[in-house]
């Protein structure tokens, strides 16, 4: 990877997000572009999990500084109980 590619990847803004699927289930992921990712989920091209649970709506997101931190936050949220996830969405 050349230096400019490293600089571009380190300058990206990452988001951790949660979707509510049509069946009421919750899905957590990360992205650099929330609108594009939501469109991909609703088109059925983003995740096997959401493909059969469309349409989905983005109910929560948080900006995270780096991809590494976003992945850690995603893992933390996925470990929460459903009640804790709903509380996070509500706050």
Number of neighbouring beta carbons within 10 Å of residue 46: 20
| pLDDT level of residue 11 (50, 70, 90 thresholds) | confident
Alpha helices by DSSP H, listed for 1-91, are: 3-11, 34-43, 48-51, 67-78, 82-90
How far apart CA 55 and CA 32 sit, in angstroms, is 21
Confidence of residue 31 (pLDDT cuts 50, 70, 90): very high
What local confidence, expressed as pLDDT, does residue 56 receive?
98
- How many folded domains does the chain comprise? 1
Q: Quote the pTM value.
A: 0.87
* Domain range enclosing 28: 11-90
- How far is C-alpha 34 from the geometric centre of its chain's CA atoms? 8
3-state secondary structure of 38: helix
The enclosing domain of 59 has a CATH number of 3.40.1440.10
Asked whether residue 77 is assigned to any structural domain, the reply reads yes
Using an 8 Å Cβ cutoff, are 27 and 74 in contact?
Answer: no
- Residue-wise pLDDT for 59-78, tens only, equals 999 999 999 999 999 999 99
């Amino acid at each position: 990877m050349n230096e400019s590619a490293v600089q571009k990847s380190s300058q990206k803004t990452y988001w951790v997000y949660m979707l509510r699927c049509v069946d009421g289930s919750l899905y957590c992921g990360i992205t650099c572009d929330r609108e594009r990712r939501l469109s991909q989920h609703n088109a059925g091209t983003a995740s096997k999990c959401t493909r059969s649970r469309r349409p989905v709506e983005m109910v929560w997101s948080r900006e995270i500084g780096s991809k590494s931190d976003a992945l850690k936050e995603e893992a933390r949220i996925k470990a929460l109980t459903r009640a804790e996830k709903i509380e996070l969405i509500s706050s």
